[in-house]
């Protein structure tokens, strides 16, 4: 017990000081001594002790006063009084001043060891108790923090959370749930669920969670339809809450706004039906033409037959173009747009596309001309994507041109953008069609465009690609004069 204990001995009688120090340090204690109250206090202020042996009668601050000072320095310090005037009164006074014990002079080494040993035992118990007390206080604080942290998390959740007890009363309802269920006021603890959940599907779901129909029930989900036009569509998941004996004591329901998913789903099925429609039209035409020839309905005029074959081939070509566009769109939707960006020179790319389109232009007696500013800066773009944009624009400029028309391809730049322009001398775009020009499957329908095949996807693809490169695409058009498509690509 004494080993390693730090002990302060304060006594004006040098022999007693020395004797005590010798006995205690012989047992392994670390001992310091002082010859009066003041010196003792000075020592106690510079280092901490486990136990102090204090003589009562001393010059320069007596034992009683020292006891009080020591108590304020360290309330857990064990103080044992050594006194030659072993009266009951002084002993009581000393204990009242905070002494743990007293040793009457004269004493034997054995007595000293026993009393000091007991005092140190008390000290270690006190320290232990204090440690436990502090730990408990810390735990309580943490618990309070934890509770408020959980509360904060629940309140900040984007999903709605509602907990109901067995009596179908709401015991927790976070702000998101109130928002999703359009409950404007704050809720009182224990309001009936029907105050919060107006739709019967929600209440049924909670009922299912509270009284599961089959064993091994874990969770049930239900889509809650929107009641009014702009109400969100909610997905609700309910699960029973069990106590430690696995009795159901309530239900927890999580609400999620799935309106966007539903919208997406709708958009997707609209797209599929539009695609089906667009695929059917050219195939029906080709089948019709084939029937005409196979059944010999149109007579045997080779010129007429040739015309039919040509038109069939044109529609077949259109069908293939549509399928290619659809593949591009699927590539875009898989997020593979603008993925392989590299520093590219736009002029060689433009020249390549112009060269490739020359055949098509010649067929329609359209000439392609190219003008490029010297020393254009490089752009950071996906080569395949850019080729697709330029091809689509050139294809339109050729197809919607007049006979002997022209197409100008221009490339210029300023500090911020590289600008690519494709200008044609064709029929132009009516004002009413301009706004929807970049919509999927939108095609300008009039007398002049009737015989032109197209997918209605080319411009929407070009726009998506340009925007994926943080660029911009715009169009200017004059009816019967021509159109100019301009692509701005950031440097």
Partner 1 sequence: MDDDLDFVQINKIYLEKEGYRVSCAYSAKEGWRMVEKEKPDLILMDLMMENLDSGMALSQQVKGHKEYASTPILMLTSISRETGMDFTPRSPEELKQLKVDEYCSKPIKPKALLEKVQRLLAGKPGLKKD
Residues making contact with partner 1 (CB under 8 A): 270, 273-274, 276-277, 280-281, 284-285, 288-289, 291-292, 297-298, 308, 311, 315, 445-447, 450-451
Write down the least CB distance from residue 277 to partner 1, Å.
Answer: 6
Largest CA distance in the chain: 147
Write down the least CB distance from residue 222 to partner 1, Å.
Answer: 27
Region of 66 (left: φ > 0; alpha: ψ -120 to 50; beta: rest) is alpha
Tokens of 205: 């779901």
- Asked if omega into 121 is within 30° of 0 (cis), the reply is no
Write down the least CB distance from residue 266 to partner 1, Å.
Answer: 10
Write down the least CB distance from residue 450 to partner 1, Å.
Answer: 5
Write down the least CB distance from residue 273 to partner 1, Å.
Answer: 4
When the beta carbons of 163 and 279 are compared against partner 1, the nearer one is 279
When the beta carbons of 219 and 276 are compared against partner 1, the nearer one is 276
Residue pair 191/170 in contact (Cβ under 8 Å)? The answer is yes
CA 143 to CA 122: how far, in whole Å? 31
When the beta carbons of 264 and 284 are compared against partner 1, the nearer one is 284
When the beta carbons of 227 and 450 are compared against partner 1, the nearer one is 450
CA of residue 415 relative to chain centroid, distance: 37
Write down the least CB distance from residue 198 to partner 1, Å.
Answer: 30
Residue pair 489/379 in contact (Cβ under 8 Å)? The answer is yes
Write down the least CB distance from residue 445 to partner 1, Å.
Answer: 6
Write down the least CB distance from residue 276 to partner 1, Å.
Answer: 7
Work out the number of other CB atoms within 10 angstroms of the CB of residue 140.
10
When the beta carbons of 188 and 300 are compared against partner 1, the nearer one is 300
What single-letter DSSP state applies at residue 6? E
When the beta carbons of 59 and 288 are compared against partner 1, the nearer one is 288
When the beta carbons of 22 and 436 are compared against partner 1, the nearer one is 436
Euclidean distance between the first and the last CA atom of the chain, given in angstroms as a whole number: 80
DSSP 60-95: SS-HHHHHHHHHHH-TT-EEEEEESS--HHHHHHHH
When the beta carbons of 185 and 431 are compared against partner 1, the nearer one is 431
Tokens of 363: 């067929």
Write down the least CB distance from residue 352 to partner 1, Å.
Answer: 33
Residue pair 9/17 in contact (Cβ under 8 Å)? The answer is yes
CA 449 to CA 393: how far, in whole Å? 16
CA 281 to CA 296: how far, in whole Å? 23
When the beta carbons of 154 and 321 are compared against partner 1, the nearer one is 321
Work out whether strand 191-192 and strand 169-173 pair parallel, antiparallel, or are unpaired. Answer: antiparallel
Tokens of 441: 């499957």
Tokens of 378: 């490089």
What single-letter DSSP state applies at residue 60? S
**Helices and strands in the chain, H and E counts:** 14, 18
When the beta carbons of 50 and 278 are compared against partner 1, the nearer one is 278
> Kind and range of the H or E element at 164?
strand 160-165
Tokens of 192: 């009936």
When the beta carbons of 189 and 297 are compared against partner 1, the nearer one is 297
Write down the least CB distance from residue 243 to partner 1, Å.
Answer: 52
**Token pair 């010859």 is at which residue?**
35
Report how far apart, in Å, the C-alpha atoms of 10 and of each of 20, 69, 114, 124 are.
10, 13, 19, 22
Write down the least CB distance from residue 275 to partner 1, Å.
Answer: 11
Tokens of 236: 């609700």
């Amino acid at each position: 017990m004494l080993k390693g204990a730090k002990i302060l001995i304060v006594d004006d009688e040098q022999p007693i000081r020395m004797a005590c120090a010798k006995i205690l340090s012989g047992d392994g204690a670390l001992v310091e001594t002082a010859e009066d109250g003041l010196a003792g206090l000075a020592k106690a202020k510079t280092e901490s002790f486990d136990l102090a042996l204090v003589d009562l009668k001393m010059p320069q601050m007596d034992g009683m006063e020292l006891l009080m000072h020591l108590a304020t320095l360290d309330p857990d310090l064990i103080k044992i009084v050594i006194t030659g005037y072993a009266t009951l009164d002084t002993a009581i006074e000393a204990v009242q001043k905070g002494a743990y014990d007293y040793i009457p002079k004269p004493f034997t080494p054995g007595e000293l060891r026993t009393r000091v040993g007991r005092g140190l035992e008390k000290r270690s118990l006190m320290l232990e108790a204090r440690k436990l007390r502090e730990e408990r206080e810390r735990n309580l604080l943490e618990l309070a923090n934890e509770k408020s942290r959980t509360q904060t998390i629940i309140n900040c959740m984007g999903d709605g959370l509602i907990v109901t007890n067995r009596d179908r009363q709401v015991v927790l309802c976070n702000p998101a749930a109130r928002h999703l269920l359009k409950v404007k006021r704050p809720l009182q603890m224990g309001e009936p669920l029907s105050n919060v959940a107006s739709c019967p599907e929600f209440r049924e779901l909670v009922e299912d969670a509270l009284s599961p129909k089959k064993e091994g029930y874990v969770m049930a989900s239900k889509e809650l339809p929107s009641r009014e036009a702009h109400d969100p569509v909610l997905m609700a998941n309910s699960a029973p809450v069990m106590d430690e004996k696995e009795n159901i004591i309530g239900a927890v329901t999580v609400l999620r706004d799935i309106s966007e998913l539903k919208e997406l789903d709708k958009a997707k099925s609209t797209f599929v039906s539009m695609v089906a429609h667009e695929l059917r039209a050219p195939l029906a035409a080709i089948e019709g033409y084939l029937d005409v020839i196979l059944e010999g309905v149109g007579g045997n005029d080779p010129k007429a037959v040739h015309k039919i074959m040509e038109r069939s081939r044109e529609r077949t070509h259109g069908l293939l173009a549509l399928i290619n566009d659809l593949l591009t769109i699927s590539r875009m939707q898989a997020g593979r747009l603008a993925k392989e960006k590299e520093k590219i020179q736009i002029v060689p790319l433009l020249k390549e596309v112009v060269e490739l389109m020359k055949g098509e232009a010649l067929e329609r007696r359209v000439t392609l001309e190219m003008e490029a500013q010297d020393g254009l800066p490089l752009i950071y773009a996906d080569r395949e994507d850019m080729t697709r944009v330029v091809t689509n624009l050139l294809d339109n400029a050729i197809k919607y041109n007049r006979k002997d028309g022209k197409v100008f391809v221009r490339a210029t730049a300023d500090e911020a953008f590289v600008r690519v322009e494709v200008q044609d001398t064709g029929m132009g775009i009516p004002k009413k069609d301009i706004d929807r020009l970049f919509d999927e499957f939108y095609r300008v329908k009039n007398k002049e465009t009737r015989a032109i095949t197209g997918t209605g996807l080319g411009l929407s693809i070009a726009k998506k690609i340009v925007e994926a490169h943080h660029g911009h695409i715009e169009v200017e058009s004059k009816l019967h004069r021509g159109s100019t498509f301009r692509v701005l690509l950031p440097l």
